[in-house]
Chains A and B, each alone.
Chain A
Amino acid sequence: MAGNKGRGRAAYTFNIEAVGFSRGEKLPDVVLKPPPLFPDTDYKPVPPKTGEGEDYMLALKQELRETMKRMLYFIETPEEKQDIERYSKRYMKVYKEEWKADWRRLPREMMPRKKSKKADPKSKKAKDTDKGTLLANTADVLKKIEELEKRGNGEKSDEENEEKEGSKEKSKEGDDDDNDNEDAAEEEYAKEEQEEENGYINSYFEDGDDFGAESDDNMDEATY
């Protein structure tokens, strides 16, 4: 086909002159290793712009960096448990408030579900089924709530009962299940806030960190 000139002899398949080398000239060396990591540059980079605007933006940038670290959105990595718990650590901890989102704008599964500290497995199950199944009839929900009240903890404060009654009344007015679920969620929140004031050490069981944190759904064992 295209001129077998090269039997056993080196020949280029293209016109060497087109590439810029003349025939017989010494070709550049073959590259045997990757290029250096930081090659020398012939031309040094231009210094960055200076000016009033640039200075201001620089100061602003550094300030923003510091501010962001202190904001509530910055979630600290939880430290691993050390073997020896230092006494001073308890007093050096900086308590950051929890940032509360607007739950109306977020999907429902976002709401953190609190593990109840008192033994309440059945009510938890009832709440789970509430959220999952289609309860078109508010009367069913009312019945369940009444059952829960009878069964419920003796330690629940009056306000909780009032809230349940409040929710019952609201449901009687014919609101949709949304309210019930919202109240259920609110109840859980209310529980959380009230529990702050009793004698239990809050930090004993952190949220889902070490103790039985495999799944949120199987809350069959009561936690003491």
Chain B
Amino acid sequence: MTQAEIKLCSLLLKEHFGEIVEKIGVHLIRTGSQPLRVIAHDTGTSLDQVKKALCVLIQHNLVIYQVHKRGVVEYEAQCSRVLRMLRYPRYIYTTKTLYSDTGELIVEELLLNGKMTMSAVVKKVADRLTETMEDGKTMDYAEVSNTFVRLADTHFVQRCPLVPTIENSDLGPPPPAPTLVVNEKDMYLVPKLSLIGKGKRRRSSDEDAAGEPRAKRPKHTTDNKEPIPDDGIYWQANLERFHQHFRDQAIVSAVANRMDQTSSEIVRTMLRMSEITTPSSAPFTQPLSSNEIFRSLPVGYNISKQVLDQYLTLLADDPLEFVGKSGDSGGGMYVINLHKALASLATATLESVVQERFGSRCARIFRLVLQKKHLEQKQVEDFAMIPAKEAKDMLYKMLSENFISLQEIPKTPDHAPSRTFYLYTVNVLSAARMLLHRCYKSIANLIERRQFETKENKRLLEKSQRVEAIIASMQATGAEEAQLQEIEEMITAPERQQLETLKRNVNKLDASEIQVDETIFLLESYIESTMKRQ
């Protein structure tokens, strides 16, 4: 793992789980697989705290354990999974667009808790939804269950690996750690539960009259008297499925930008049809016949068969090669070239970065070298129609930032520089890796800057929170306008200004983080797809 990734993981872990978990997590990421005692010794933390931290990390699927010989259990951290924590808002928002508020809360609970049983999720989500509803209305468990089942059917949530049931006692002493079994068949199988109930509203202290008296409320808030029917079956959010969805979204919007709405709808239909049949890492989807596509077009899109055929031909002929024609049966068999699409998206990202950093003339040179693969200095000047001095300057700038690389072709065996060709070329894979690394660094910088800004104004923030609390409590007990005015004036105008600036800056930094994460997703998908093909 690169230093930039480790730094970013450290910041994320500290923000979400605290310093102790961060120390253990970063140590594991740095050193790889280690047993418990070695971790405690190397980090200098007490065994108890290491255990707590590891429990939290395992619960959130950030650390896995393996039993090695002689019964030693070793723990390994998943650095890439830690980096996914940046994308949580995107996952939750996507679920909201697909399955509305209920789905959104289900996925949010699963992401925040790592893994949960279905009954626990349903109960919690129902309670949360009931809070937001008007007085008197409650959320039924059945509705939440339905949404959960739909999420499982479309593979957005999946079962966690199970603990195997130990049948007989001949096995001798139990293993030091359970080996979790992944059951492919049952991964999306929802257990038969009859969850009857309604969401409970959290009673405020005023409404005690109807509720149970305080004293009788049990010490533990959860009723663990009755056995949970789906005990041991835990669910987690299926991040791969979300990534597949984001990739499809990116392809569809790229087609929409390049051509028009109708073609993007056609591509979306094709992708939807291949969702379940094609594994997400395949280079292209299964071939679909034009007739099938015509039948599966969304209702309301009444384009005739010929128009559809024309669109498909146009898409297949496009130089970007998102769609390819693989045969002629059934009216024409078409596939979507997933790998090529990802490569085009990654290349477009690189071009855009060059343009924003160095200017449009540099971008012209960059696109030229991309297109022609290898060019000499002189040829670059000629093809790009840019004067020699400037062209040289731009090429060197891009070379120093590693967007462009040099390829040496010697004329003589002694590689004399005066008798060697130096060709400029763009290696997309390595440029993408370089850019990804920079993205990690940028997000780390953004997070640090945001934390710095918050820390600088900590005193002011606390003061404003206190004032708000006072105002809220005074309003609840009914205060006059004049008194409220007086309290509000405790924060002076320049302080208010400062707060405004702080809020604006923090929002901007947060928004930038989210956007850089989108670029990270594209680049990572491209690199992963390329590595799989090799």
Contact = CB atoms under 8 A, between A and B. Distances in A.
Contacts of B166: 176, 178
B28 to A, nearest CB: 15
A133 to B, nearest CB: 9
29 contacts: A13-B418, A20-B388, A43-B357, A46-B356, A48-B508, A49-B511, A57-B90, A57-B93, A60-B93, A65-B16, A68-B112, A73-B17, A75-B20, A77-B18, A77-B20, A102-B234, A105-B178, A105-B234, A106-B58, A107-B73, A108-B177, A109-B177, A110-B51, A110-B55, A176-B166, A176-B169, A176-B171, A178-B174, A208-B47
Given A18-B418, A178-B173, 9 more contacts: A2-B414, A14-B417, A19-B377, A54-B515, A107-B176, A110-B54, A134-B173, A174-B169, A213-B46
Minimum-distance CB pairs A-B, first 4: A14-B417, A107-B177, A176-B169, A20-B392
Nearest to B222: A100
A18 B171 CA distance: 75
A105 B55 CA distance: 10
A107 B65 contact: yes
Interface of B: 15-21, 36, 46-49, 51-56, 58-60, 65, 67, 73, 88-90, 92-93, 96-97, 108, 112-113, 163, 166, 168-169, 171-174, 176-178, 180, 232, 234, 356-359, 377, 388-389, 392, 414, 416-418, 420, 422, 506-508, 510-515
A101 B511 contact: no
B73 A208 contact: no
A209 B169 CA distance: 39
A101 B418 contact: no
A45 B356 contact: yes
A46 B516 CA distance: 12
Nearest to A110: B51
B377 A56 contact: no
Interface in A103-144: 104-112, 134-136
A63 to B, nearest CB: 9
Interface in A45-96: 45-46, 48-50, 53-54, 56-58, 60-62, 64-65, 67-68, 71, 73-77
A108 B176 contact: yes
A135 B172 CA distance: 8
A174 B514 CA distance: 57
Interface in A1-22: 2, 13-15, 18-20
A68 B171 CA distance: 41
A67 B20 contact: no
A195 interface: no
A49 B510 CA distance: 12
Interface string A193-210: 000000000000001110
A158 interface: no
A42 interface: yes
A155 interface: no
Given A18-B422, A207-B48, A73 B59 contact: yes
A212 B534 CA distance: 56
A101 B377 contact: no
A216 interface: yes
A101 B89 contact: no
B417 A15 contact: yes
B55 A106 contact: yes
A20 B389 contact: yes
Most buried by A among B15, B18, B176, B508: B18
A187 interface: no
B365 to A, nearest CB: 14
Contact of A75 (B21, B59, B174): B21
Given A68-B16, A71-B112, A101 B59 contact: yes
A53 B514 CA distance: 11
A102 B15 CA distance: 25
B356 A61 contact: no
A177 interface: yes
A147 interface: no
A134 B60 CA distance: 33
A159 interface: no
A186 interface: no
Contacts of A20: 377, 388-389, 392
Contacts of A56: 93, 96
B21 A177 contact: no
Contacts of B97: 53
A192 interface: no
A73 B88 CA distance: 17
A61 B46 contact: no
A62 B510 contact: yes
A75 B14 CA distance: 10
A164 B358 CA distance: 76
Contacts of A99: 56
A175 interface: yes
A209 B46 contact: yes
Nearest to B111: A64
B76 to A, nearest CB: 13
Contacts of A45: 356
Nearest to A73: B56
A76 B423 CA distance: 57
A108 B55 CA distance: 11
Contacts of A207: 48
Nearest to B55: A101
Given A13-B418, A20-B389, A107-B65, A74 B51 contact: no
Contacts of A107: 65, 67, 73, 176-178
Contact of B93 (A14, A53, A76): A53
B88 A64 contact: yes
A207 to B, nearest CB: 5
A134 B508 CA distance: 61
Contacts of B168: 176
B391 to A, nearest CB: 8
Contacts of B356: 43, 45-46
Contact of A112 (B17, B51, B389): B51
A177 B510 contact: no
B226 to A, nearest CB: 17
A107 B75 CA distance: 10
Given A104-B178, A112-B51, A178-B166, A74 B16 contact: yes
Nearest to A45: B356
